[in-house]
Chain A
């Protein structure tokens, strides 16, 4: 697997896109999706919610386990991906594309986000 170069990554295995008009997209990495196994349920933050970097804002449930979803940045949620709520398998099949989770108007970004190469090394993926 390869982690897209244009994204940045958190140590909780979320990815963050570059901002367009101040809005960034958030998802989980392919490495994280593989570790979870088949995702069967996704609970996302709602539009208007404030999410905080490094804090939980939802959950991902797979056959074997339930995992907290952490936000990689602080800001206001402006969109949640209804497609992935309806079909959680998108997280497994297209984690960097159709399996994105939510969009956030970034207020503050932590300093320790990783580049693709750094994340690849960190995750061993």
Chain B
């Protein structure tokens, strides 16, 4: 990643042929939207959407010591993840600060696939490589080995079933298995970042176009549309899912972000950040500094990351993500606010939107939960 030229995914030509509006994202040229981002968002909520997520960073960890390495390097209990299952977890610094949030798939007894955010791929790779010292394990940069295509939405199981013999009914949420989709070898994972049922398909970049086209054709009758990063952001925001650089950063611990549950103190042995996180857990229990909450606008102006949250003219927090919610029909935001003002229903909370204090309702996250 030394050059400044944007990187292109294996689907780049396809996005352009579809008339996508492209944007730079973490050094990659990615589709922001193909048409209306609102229509794309609503398609995922009601039918299905197709995403190119090839910018995500894949790291493979193999060897007899792979489980022990990941238990030491990450905050979760990765050794306890069954083969064919996945886990949402984080990698922290020694001071407890979050380096990234991750999904780790256990592909085989001694093989894990770690998926990092595009913006942190190198940081995570470097940290895992450094922490691997003394472990009988190999850390491999597999960013170029995979294209990643996601199918998300209530129609996605039916669409995928028409293209694969894999046992999708037996594939639980947060599980992954190797299979073949439209004749393409793929790791089929039931994971996503939209709040809907859906699948993420890790394939050889050389097969990406073939798979995309097959999914497009199979999904057309069900209303599947290509979807860009813009609606991905509003979908995850409605689902209350954090985004690194917004709700998560090195200056916050998982406990600050309300995600202390990902830290597994009960696992055996030391792990990076254990001591600092033990203190952070105690502090969060007694006296949380700020709490991550949801905000729903009473008006129509959209809060943006960095805008102050105010009560009676006093700044009591800061917006980390904000957008118009296509599902709720009103602007929504996630924000860190002082614990005193964090209870759902707290009155008198506003957001300073370019100088005017707009009223907002404090709500518990998520804003949207799908009907299972």
Contacts and interface: CB of A to CB of B under 8 A. Distances in A.
Interface of A: 34, 37-38, 40-41, 61, 63-64, 66, 89, 92
Contacts of A61: 301-302, 324
Interface residues of B, number: 16
Interface in B1-30: 21
A92 B299 CA distance: 21
In terms of DSSP, what is the predominant structure of the interface of chain A?
A: mixed
A63 B300 contact: no
A37 B229 CA distance: 13
Nearest to A61: B302
Contact of A66 (B33, B37, B38, B304): B304
Nearest to B324: A40
A34 B344 CA distance: 37
A37 B37 contact: yes
Interface string B227-247: 000100010000000000000
Given A63-B234, A63-B324, A64-B230, A38 B36 contact: yes
Contacts of A41: 300-302, 324
Interface centre among B33, B37, B302, B323 (most CB of A within 10 A): B302
B300 A38 contact: no
Contacts of A92: 36
B302 A38 contact: no
A34 B300 CA distance: 21
30 contacts: A34-B21, A37-B21, A37-B32, A37-B33, A37-B36, A37-B37, A37-B230, A38-B36, A38-B324, A40-B302, A40-B324, A40-B331, A41-B301, A41-B302, A41-B324, A61-B302, A61-B324, A63-B37, A63-B38, A63-B230, A63-B323, A63-B324, A64-B32, A64-B37, A64-B230, A64-B323, A66-B302, A66-B354, A89-B38, A92-B36
A112 to B, nearest CB: 28
Contacts of A66: 302, 304, 354
A36 B310 CA distance: 28
Contacts of A89: 38
Across the A-B interface, the 4 shortest Cβ-Cβ residue pairs: A40-B324, A38-B38, A41-B300, A63-B37
Contacts of B230: 37, 63-64
Contacts of B33: 37
A61 B307 CA distance: 15
Nearest to A89: B38
A94 B324 CA distance: 21
Contacts of A64: 32, 37, 230, 323
Contact of A38 (B37, B301, B304): B37
Nearest to B234: A63
Interface centre among A40, A41, A61, A66 (most CB of B within 10 A): A40
A14 to B, nearest CB: 21
Interface in B84-100: none
Contacts of A37: 21, 32-33, 36-37, 230
Nearest to A88: B300
A66 B324 CA distance: 12
Nearest to A40: B324
A40 B38 CA distance: 10
A92 B32 CA distance: 17
A63 B301 CA distance: 11
A40 B33 CA distance: 16
A38 B21 CA distance: 13
Interface in B332-361: 354
Given A38-B38, A41-B300, A61-B301, 16 more contacts: A37-B21, A37-B37, A38-B324, A40-B302, A41-B302, A61-B302, A61-B324, A63-B37, A63-B38, A63-B230, A63-B234, A63-B323, A63-B324, A64-B323, A66-B302, A89-B38
Interface in B279-324: 300-302, 304, 323-324
Contacts of B331: 40
Interface string B29-49: 000110011100000000000
Nearest to B301: A41
A92 B38 CA distance: 12
Nearest to B231: A63
